[in-house]
Structure formats: structure tokens, C-alpha cells
Amino acid sequence: MLSLRPASISVLVILVAVAFWLGAMTLFMLAGVVSGGWRALVIVGGIVAVGAGIAAIVWPGPTLVVISIFIAWYLLIRGVFDVTMSLMHTHVRGWWMMLIAGIIGIALGAWAIGNPERSVLLFVTIVGVWTIFKGATDLVAAFTYRSMKKELNV
């Protein structure tokens, strides 16, 4: 996943499409709960999400570029927010970790915004690194739960 090989791009596009479709399902279920004008807005949002998932499959290149640019801007804006919040809360233990995360977010966002190819590379790398960490934490959790089961004699 940590490369721009066609297989990595294909998997990422499918992941994006599935995320859009799951969001659409959520919106359609929400439409059963809300009423009035909100219901129409939620249904339109669900239809747009289904269309976005289909568009991701049909036009994978442009889809990844657009999503990557959104992520780059998110990193930049979130980084500014994190730096501001950490400097406002220097009395809180560990405030410097949010400061470091914010600086890294600002740097990555600013680096990726300037070039769409770098944005896609950043997006692929973020998904790959997240997948590695998610897998590692799931393994640790599984072994922890297993040892807890033995301790409780269940």
C-alpha cells in the first residue's frame, strides 16, 4: 500500500468507493429518523454519496487527486488548530505532543498542497501507515484479550 503501484491505487480507490457507499447507507438510514426538509437533504446527500462511489470506480485518477487535495488542506488547517490549542493549554501535561503533531500536519499539508502528485503520494502513504498501525494494535489487543480470558478463567 505504501507505493503508487497500480494495485495500491486500485485498492485505495475501492476503499474510497466503499467508504462513500457506507456513508450513503448511513444517510439513507438517517432519512428514516429525520423529518421535514432535513429528510430531503439527507436523501440527496445519500444519492450524491452513491454517485461519488460510482465516480471513484469509473474515474479513479481524478477521484484520488481531489480527495488527496482535500486531505492536504485538512492536514494544514488541522495542524494550525492543533498548534493553537497546544499553545493555549501549555499547563496540560503532554501539551507538546499536540504541538509536534500540529507542526507535522502543517508541514505535510503545505508540502502536499503545492503538487497534486505529492498529494496522492501523501494520501497513499497515510492509508498505508494507518493500515500498519491498525493491524499492529489489533494484534496487541487480541493477545491482551486472550490473556484476560485466561486470567478470568472464562
- pLDDT one-digit tens code per residue, 119-146: 888 888 887 787 788 888 888 888 888 8
Question: Which of residues 1 and 109 earns the better pLDDT score?
Answer: 109
pLDDT band at 154 (very low <50, low <70, confident <90, very high): low
Residues 38 and 69 in one domain: no
CB 124 within 8 A of CB 8: yes
Axis-axis angle for helices 6-31, 116-152 (nearest 10): 70
Q: For residue 115, what pLDDT is reported?
A: 82
Residues 148 and 102 in one domain: yes
Query: Quick check: 2 pLDDT over 60?
Result: no
Residues 19 and 50 in one domain: yes
Residues 69 and 144 in one domain: yes
Domain count along the chain: 2
- The span from the first CA to the last CA of the chain, in angstroms, equals 39
Residues 37 and 71 in one domain: no
Residues 53 and 107 in one domain: no
Residues 95 and 66 in one domain: yes
What whole-number percentage of the chain has pLDDT above 90? 42
What whole-number percentage of the chain has pLDDT above 70? 96
List alpha helices for the chain, DSSP H.
6-31, 37-58, 60-88, 95-113, 116-152
Q: What is the mean pLDDT of residues 74-98?
A: 92
Q: What is the mean pLDDT of residues 51-59?
A: 94
Q: What is the mean pLDDT of residues 91-102?
A: 90
User: Would the pTM of this model clear 0.85, i.e. be above it?
Assistant: no
Residues 92 and 23 in one domain: no
Residues 8 and 76 in one domain: no
Residues 71 and 143 in one domain: yes
Residues 68 and 51 in one domain: no
For residue 28, the enclosing domain spans: 1-58
Residues 148 and 97 in one domain: yes
